[in-house]
A and B are shown apart, each in its own frame.
Chain A
Amino acid sequence: MSAQRWRLGEGGLIDRSRVLPFRFDERLLHGHPGDTLASALLANGVRLVGRSFKYHRPRGILSAGPEEPNALVELRGGARREPNTRATQVELFEGLEARSQNRWPSLGFDLGAVNGVLAPMIGAGFYYKTFMWPAAFWEKLYEPLIRRAAGLGRAPQAADPDRYERAHAHCDVLVIGAGPAGLMAALAAGRAGARVLLVEEDAALGGRLLSEAEEVDGRPGAEWAGAVEAELADMPRLRILRRTSAFALLDGGVVAAVERVADHLPEPPAHLPRQRSWKIVARRIVLAAGAIERPVVFGGNDRPGVMLAGAVRSYLNRHAVLPGRRAVVFTVGDDGWRSVADLLRGGAQIDAVVDARAEVPPEQAQLAARHGLRLVAGGRVTGTQGGRHLTAVRFADAAGREEGVGADLLAVSGGWNPSLHLACHLGNRPRWDAAIHAFVPGELPPGLVVAGAAAGRFSTHAALADGAATGLAAAQACGFDAAAPEIPRAEDAPRDAVPLFHVPGGRGKAFVDLQHDVTDADIALAHREGFRAAEHAKRYTTLGMATDQGKTAGVNGLAILARLAGQAISEVGTTTHRPPWTPVAIGAVAGPHRGRHFRPARHTPLHDWAAANGASFVEAGLWYRAQWYARPGEAGWRDSVDREVLAVRNAVGVCDVSTLGKIEVAGPGAAALLDLVYANTISTLAVGRLRYGLMLREDGFVMDDGTVARLAEDRFFVTTTTANAGAVLQHLEYCHQVLRPALDVSLLSVTDAWAQLSVAGPRARDLLAAVLDPGPDLSNAALPHMAWIAVRLGGVPCRLYRLSFSGELAYELGVPADYAEAAMRRIMERGASFGVTPYGTEALGVLRIEKGHPAGGELNGQTTARDLGLGRLVSTRKDCIGRRLAERPALTDPARPVLVGLKPADGRTPIRAGSHLLEPGVAAVTANGLGHVTSACFSPTLGMPIALALLSDGTARLGQRIRVFDPLRGGDLEAEICPPVFVDPQGERSRG
């Protein structure tokens, strides 16, 4: 049933006993456990897997790892559809569905390939130049065309159905990468007793040992890795995170990583997240991330069938797949000859080995002779042929004579680039190592060492020795010690090579960045147009951007720039390595913090009671507050709000104001601290009394307001607005600890300790007398406006503050949070005869607008005490935060907008908050603006819409008309300017 015609008869780290069916572009194919999607496609002879970004050229599989720039596919379907997934990293599972990208109507026949004809128009800097064409053209014509033609995958439209987690880990030694260096580092640190975390991007440990036909300690490399893994698994203080990419090095030895918990399964099991993002805090880090093989830039180097030589070995040795039957190997040194040997063993015919070195070492020359291979010393590949797949390779010998041979595989070895990304995330620059023709880590961030191939030491023996030494040293730095582990026997062959990055003058486009279709000609164009620095050329050409991050393109791009500039690569500099090393799903970063869990929800102690009594809730910061309580028969929210307002004005209402910030300020220095923090004087407040408190910022603008109750000589209870509760506590702590450290004060947030109920209306006193335990004298003489007393309710100690936000006779009853619901039930029971009505924040807002109290719309961070009519509160007899800078001329300018009231001239047209104020008859332009409406509502008390506004010269304009203009929502009316207090301006009711 399974026609895996390119699968080798034996070998490989795959489980041949199980066959996994999967689909690519709807075609049913088969693979085995141990396959990646890429190896399974190759096993089935599928070479063409996508179309390129700009030119829609046919593309195949270049690599066998995270550096893959070509084989980007759409994985899964529906809400789980994931674009731009690297087929080389996707573990095959039963029923996997993948589709090629960027092709229309089909992968084989793509109309977009016509872009190739237009190539001269869409070279480097195309986007920037296009922006300079007429703007209207861009939006209507070019952008839709470009988006259709030159996108990569399609993002899913539906919400992500999977769960994600965030986790933290702490360790002594973090080892990144589980190749020979990483395994030895973990072994050395683990044996010393350190707490070790070993992070590996792959599903299996072993790194290149899984891909190379070589032995360690006299047995196959993969087997040796398995033995080490078994020892590590038994260490109680060592943890292995596989399928985990360390993608960022952050300050202070913190590494961010993403664990693909369930991406290798059709769907995450119910109990597991799809991915987990880790924040790992490590005392020492061993970076053993290995190296990435470098392609060579030559004409036609993007044709399917052109593959990195090391990837060829991965497919042969790890996946038992023959990536081609007639091969040409193009190498700059010894390393490519390993692919020659492995291909021969796999049964491929090798038509030519093109070695860039003029002198090929005798051992390799003999290998060629023994197998009758055509050896082209000092050669270059100059071009390729083929439609959807490679059919022939053209090369030139040392003398420049060109010829071609038929081939379906071109294995390219351009040397290896150490994977040093994480070592450079904190701004450290890599260093050019002329001996290996690659960048190696330069100065390292504190606490991090680099081992093995990542440090530019490429032999297996060097990696093992390096890992053992760095792992042990890291453990020792954390206070652990043990004997160094014995270094197992392994190959230590030289890695001779010549520096060859680019074969200029070949046939066809020569791609530097395959993912973004950036060619050598684009870099030359950027250079001609003056974008010569590495960073400029990158941005102008899009070289090494997005998921590539220079993995395959970076060094070749720099080499071409260097040659154009006549400089050495070390002189051109490098681009900056930035996180993330590999693409990370936004879902993994967000973790569980999405939808309703994006931030915590705060419920007052009366939330359930309010919900059971018909409340609609509104979000206020983190809080959910009862907005109004609908009753049967009410047609809409206005009916409910009007009823609630009138109940307060005519009888009594009760409102949950528990969300107000509440802070206790205690100690001998409390009064002095509050005098500093509040603009008005607090220290003169008598015990048992309350005072309105106004807080300024140091720049003189209003910060917050609230009330201050003196509980005892050295103890105050202050309230803040709901929105600023946290900020005010932080500010008080700042004023105490930073500005007045000598004051003996303690601060405590008691917001959640007390439920606070506003009881307001002419019958408020009667209601409280019926509700509270008998005893307290609630008369005006005993409990006047702005005073408080201790009371009991059902035996529970409570506090009764007499203060009014609505302008009515009003109290706030402080009840310990646990008793809030019982208190509310008693109020509703015993208050029925007084007509008690629960009211929500909407009615609360109407009542305060009617009374002209400033709130959110007016306390907007741009108003002064004087603007709000509170200027006389600011004491000039003491120092306080904001006093001095509030005296600045611009803040005391009489023309500044001040708080006024507005009524529609016709008595009925609603006024909208946010409307602009203009002199009637003048042009409606910004320069003529005189202020804006800050709060607006329908006043059931007055029977008309009313508003508060900040109006320039407002006091002088009282009684005049003003134009209220709202061009955004089509509002335009005339209004009468009036004092901001619409109800009971003398304040008789609240004192009654």
Chain B
Amino acid sequence: MRINCPFCGTRGNEEFTVLGAADPVRPDADAPVPDWVAYAHARENPRGPHRDLWQHQHGCRAWLVVERDTLTHAVIAVRPARDA
């Protein structure tokens, strides 16, 4: 797989590490525990487009939101996580 880092250009996936789903939003500090459990553990497993957090660990170290298709592995879009 190749990922188009917005800062470095297209690089092989061996330069990147993946964390997991990009969409869960960290709850407020005092939100009910079930909200926190969902944030920490509950994940969708979609067939098709999916947004993941990757870090260009062996490059610019930027955290990126990579939208890709879990079926075809096609990378649809890559954005810096700080702008997402």
Contact = CB atoms under 8 A, between A and B. Distances in A.
Given A252-B75, A738-B81, A733 B33 contact: no
A446 B2 CA distance: 13
B53 A738 contact: yes
Contacts, number: 65
B12 A281 contact: yes
Interface in B26-80: 26-27, 29-31, 33, 36-37, 39-41, 53, 55, 57, 61-63, 71-75, 80
A885 B63 contact: no
Interface string B1-14: 11000000000110
Contact of B73 (A251, A738, A884, A888): A251
B31 A884 contact: yes
B29 A738 contact: no
A883 B29 CA distance: 8
B40 A885 contact: yes
B81 A737 contact: yes
Contact of A879 (B19, B29, B81): B29
Given A734-B55, A884-B31, A254 B2 contact: yes
A885 B33 contact: yes
Interface in A731-767: 733-734, 737-739, 741
Given A254-B12, A741-B82, A888-B33, A730 B1 contact: no
B37 A885 contact: yes
Nearest to B3: A252
Contacts of A254: 1-2, 12
Contacts of A887: 33
B33 A734 contact: no
Nearest to B2: A252
B40 A698 contact: yes
A888 B61 CA distance: 33
Contact of B41 (A427, A699, A879): A699
Nearest to A729: B61
Interface string A881-893: 0011101100000
Given A252-B2, A281-B2, A730-B57, A737 B33 contact: no
B36 A884 contact: yes
Nearest to A253: B2
Contacts of B12: 254, 279, 281
A426 interface: yes
A446 B29 CA distance: 45
Which interface residue of A251, A254, A887 has the most chain B CB atoms within 10 A? A251
Nearest to A734: B63
Interface residues of B, number: 32
Contacts of A446: 74
A888 B55 CA distance: 30
Contacts of B29: 878-879, 883-884
Interface in A228-254: 250-254
A737 B36 contact: no
Interface in A398-433: 426-427
A884 B31 CA distance: 8
Nearest to A700: B40
A427 B27 CA distance: 39
Contacts of B82: 737-738, 741
Contacts of B80: 737
A887 B29 CA distance: 12
A737 B6 CA distance: 15
Contacts of A734: 19, 53, 55, 63
Nearest to B68: A251
A355 B21 CA distance: 61
A733 B1 contact: no
Given A281-B12, A730-B55, A737-B82, A252 B63 contact: no
B41 A738 contact: no
Contact of B40 (A252, A427, A699): A699
B33 A739 contact: no
A279 B72 CA distance: 20
A281 B15 CA distance: 15
A150 to B, nearest CB: 38
A678 to B, nearest CB: 15
A885 B81 CA distance: 24
Contacts of A884: 27, 29-31, 33, 36
Contacts of B41: 699
A252 B55 contact: no
A26 B70 CA distance: 54
A734 B22 CA distance: 11
Contacts of A281: 2, 12
Nearest to A726: B57
B36 A885 contact: yes
B38 to A, nearest CB: 11
Contacts of A427: 71-72
B49 to A, nearest CB: 15
Contacts of A888: 33, 37
Interface in A439-476: 446
A251 B12 CA distance: 10
Given A734-B55, A738-B53, A884-B31, A251 B2 contact: yes
A211 B74 CA distance: 40
B25 to A, nearest CB: 10
B2 A737 contact: no
A737 B53 CA distance: 11
Contacts of B61: 733
A427 B55 CA distance: 27
A250 B27 CA distance: 38
A846 B77 CA distance: 52
B37 A737 contact: no
Nearest to B39: A698
A771 B37 CA distance: 53
Contact of A426 (B19, B33, B72): B72
A851 to B, nearest CB: 33
B20 to A, nearest CB: 11
Interface string A581-624: 00000000000000000000000000000000000000000000
Contact of A252 (B1, B19, B31, B53): B1
Contacts of B63: 733-734, 737-738
A282 to B, nearest CB: 11
B66 to A, nearest CB: 12
Contacts of A250: 1
B3 to A, nearest CB: 8
Contacts of A883: 29
B9 to A, nearest CB: 12
B77 to A, nearest CB: 15
B12 to A, nearest CB: 7
B26 A739 contact: yes
A733 B55 contact: yes
A535 B61 CA distance: 43
B10 to A, nearest CB: 8
A930 B15 CA distance: 44
Contacts of B36: 884-885
Given A281-B12, A426-B72, A730 B33 contact: no
Of listed B36, B72, B73, B74, residue having the most chain A CB within 10 A: B36
Nearest to A428: B72
A733 B13 CA distance: 19
Given A427-B71, A883-B29, 4 more contacts: A279-B12, A281-B12, A737-B62, A739-B26
**Top-3 shortest CB links A-B:** A252-B2, A879-B29, A741-B82
Interface of B: 1-2, 12-13, 17, 19, 26-27, 29-31, 33, 36-37, 39-41, 53, 55, 57, 61-63, 71-75, 80-83
11 contacts: A250-B1, A252-B73, A254-B2, A281-B2, A426-B73, A427-B71, A698-B39, A699-B41, A734-B53, A737-B62, A738-B63
